[in-house]
Amino acid sequence: MRAIVQSGYGSVDDLTLGEVPVPEPAPDEVLVRVRAASVHPDVWHVVAGRPAVLRLMGSGIRTPREQVPGTDVAGVVEAVGSAVTRFEPGDEVFGETVRGVQWRNGGAFAEYATAPEEGVALKPSSVSFEEAAAVPTAGLIALSNLPRRRVPAGSRVLVNGAAGGVGAMAVQLAKVYGAHVTGVDHTSKLALVGSLGADRVIDYTSEDFTRSGERWDLVFDVPGNHSFREIRRALDPRGSYVLIAHDAFGATGHRWLGSIPRVLGLVARSAVSPQLRGGSFAAPDKRALMGTLAGYLEAGQLRVVVDRTFPLDQAARAMRHLMSGQPVGRVVLRIDD
Ligand SMILES: NC(=O)c1ccc[n+]([C@@H]2O[C@H](COP(=O)([O-])OP(=O)(O)OC[C@H]3O[C@@H](n4cnc5c(N)ncnc54)[C@H](OP(=O)(O)O)[C@@H]3O)[C@@H](O)[C@H]2O)c1
């Protein structure tokens, strides 16, 4: 089959189109004929091998263990493993190809990919393959960090980085829960944030929300460009802070451990700061989370705006477009027949 191949860690420009064998599904996996695959920042991390710690976390020390990048697919089930019970050939599905929470190549940038049954859901017919492919990783991280129990109806929620893959999901989830949502992002992306349902938008190029004098019940922070001391100015004393952390394609310079030390620092501090409690380190129940995301998509409560699609052989161009910071919406590879 045709697939994008990454032979070493480095630049997205080294990604090439090659021929590799069609993967065999394990007993608990489905084989998907891929129609679309999402281009998102975690793909860049594994292509670049940065932060270096991901190489010790199963991605492969010197070279990537799995040569085909990508983690999110939408397509048609071609075959199922012997233990699969929920899907059959011909089903239109979307899902994440890596197991649990793993930082590694998942083989999505290819004509066929395998995915564990637990990370896959039926694709609602109202949603295109391109839209569905953009959901899994971003949706899973947003939903697992922003469960309904954290957002009582009427809460004031601020999403920093609201136009990005994760932020756009968080804005819409908070609206589903009945929150009043403020979205912060770049000037060029504020119309998108408003169209996703944010009640208010803040342009980070001209306004610092931590100095506005306002307070929110929950701050969902994707870029993590403020210290917790600054964030506390904008947080209700009984409020809570959720940090996702964005490395901005290496621009923050944490080559070895990325945002891990900062996240661990916040975990330690949660012993004395109630605003940092409420998260969970339990392994996500992906089957339940994917089911919830599929339900919201079907009901029209979750929408995906696709900025641009690229054919499979232009994966490097698609990655460069993502890294330019220009996309207003998601970047997706489409795999034509
Ligand atoms: N996407 C996923 O599937 C996923 C899953 C798990 C973890 N993560 C992690 O989460 C991070 C974010 O992912 P993402 O897909 O949401 O990235 P993204 O699509 O690049 O979104 C980041 C957003 O934050 C905005 N931003 C940058 N600086 C800002 C600032 N100072 N204030 C407010 N907004 C700012 C960006 O706008 P400008 O670029 O225009 O400034 C962009 O709209 C990644 O580093 C990734 O490793 C992502």
Indicate if ligand 1 lies below 6 Å from the C-beta of 34. no
Indicate if ligand 1 lies below 6 Å from the C-beta of 29. no
Ligand 1 mutation target, pool 145, 246, 304, 320, most atoms within 8 A of CB: 246
Considering 257, 276, 295, which residue would you say is the last residue of a domain? Answer: 276
Tell me the C-alpha distance between 41 and 322, whole Å: 8
Are 75 and 197 members of one domain? no
Give percent of the chain with pLDDT exceeding 90. 86
Tell me the C-alpha distance between 96 and 134, whole Å: 10
Contact between 75 and 93 (Cβ < 8 Å): yes
Q: How confident is the model at residue 272 (pLDDT cuts 50, 70, 90)?
A: confident
Determine the structural domain holding residue 327 and report its residue range. 2-135+304-334
Q: How far is the CA of 219 from the centre of ligand 1 (A)?
A: 15
Contact between 64 and 44 (Cβ < 8 Å): no
Instruction: For 13-54, write each residue's pLDDT tens digit.
Output: 999 999 999 999 999 999 999 999 999 999 999 999 999 899
Are 92 and 176 members of one domain? no
Are 176 and 210 members of one domain? yes
290 in any annotated domain? no
Indicate if ligand 1 lies below 6 Å from the C-beta of 259. no
Q: How confident is the model at residue 324 (pLDDT cuts 50, 70, 90)?
A: very high
For 230, half-sphere exposure in the C-beta direction (CA atoms, 13 angstrom radius) is: 10
Tell me the C-alpha distance between 49 and 71, whole Å: 15
Are 54 and 158 members of one domain? no
Tell me the C-alpha distance between 217 and 12, whole Å: 39
293 in any annotated domain? no
Instruction: For 66-83, write each residue's pLDDT tens digit.
Output: 999 999 999 999 999 999
Are 144 and 270 members of one domain? yes
Indicate if ligand 1 lies below 6 Å from the C-beta of 204. yes
292 in any annotated domain? no
Instruction: For 72-127, write each residue's pLDDT tens digit.
Output: 999 999 999 999 999 999 999 999 999 988 889 999 999 999 999 999 999 999 99
Strands (E), the chain: 2-5, 16-19, 29-39, 72-80, 92-96, 112-116, 120-122, 156-160, 180-185, 200-203, 216-221, 235-243, 306-311, 330-334
Number of folded domains that form the chain: 2
Considering 229, 259, 276, which residue would you say is the last residue of a domain? Answer: 276
Are 143 and 269 members of one domain? yes
Q: Which of 239, 317, 313, 315 is nearest to 277 (CA)?
A: 239
Are 42 and 157 members of one domain? no
Are 143 and 221 members of one domain? yes
Are 105 and 55 members of one domain? yes
Indicate if ligand 1 lies below 6 Å from the C-beta of 170. no
Q: How confident is the model at residue 335 (pLDDT cuts 50, 70, 90)?
A: very high
330 Cα nearest atom in ligand 1: 19
Minimal-distance CA residue to ligand 1 atom 41: 186
Are 256 and 310 members of one domain? no
282 in any annotated domain? no
Tell me the C-alpha distance between 134 and 40, whole Å: 8
288 in any annotated domain? no
pLDDT greater than 80 at residue 337: no
Q: What is the CATH number of the domain that holds 99?
A: 3.90.180.10
Q: Lowest-pLDDT range, 57-61, 136-140, 170-174?
A: 57-61
291 in any annotated domain? no
Are 13 and 125 members of one domain? yes
Minimal-distance CA residue to ligand 1 atom 17: 164
Strands (E), 139-205: 156-160, 180-185, 200-203
Indicate if ligand 1 lies below 6 Å from the C-beta of 223. yes
Considering 233, 259, 276, which residue would you say is the last residue of a domain? Answer: 276
66 in any annotated domain? yes
Q: What is the CATH number of the domain that holds 271?
A: 3.40.50.720
Are 110 and 192 members of one domain? no
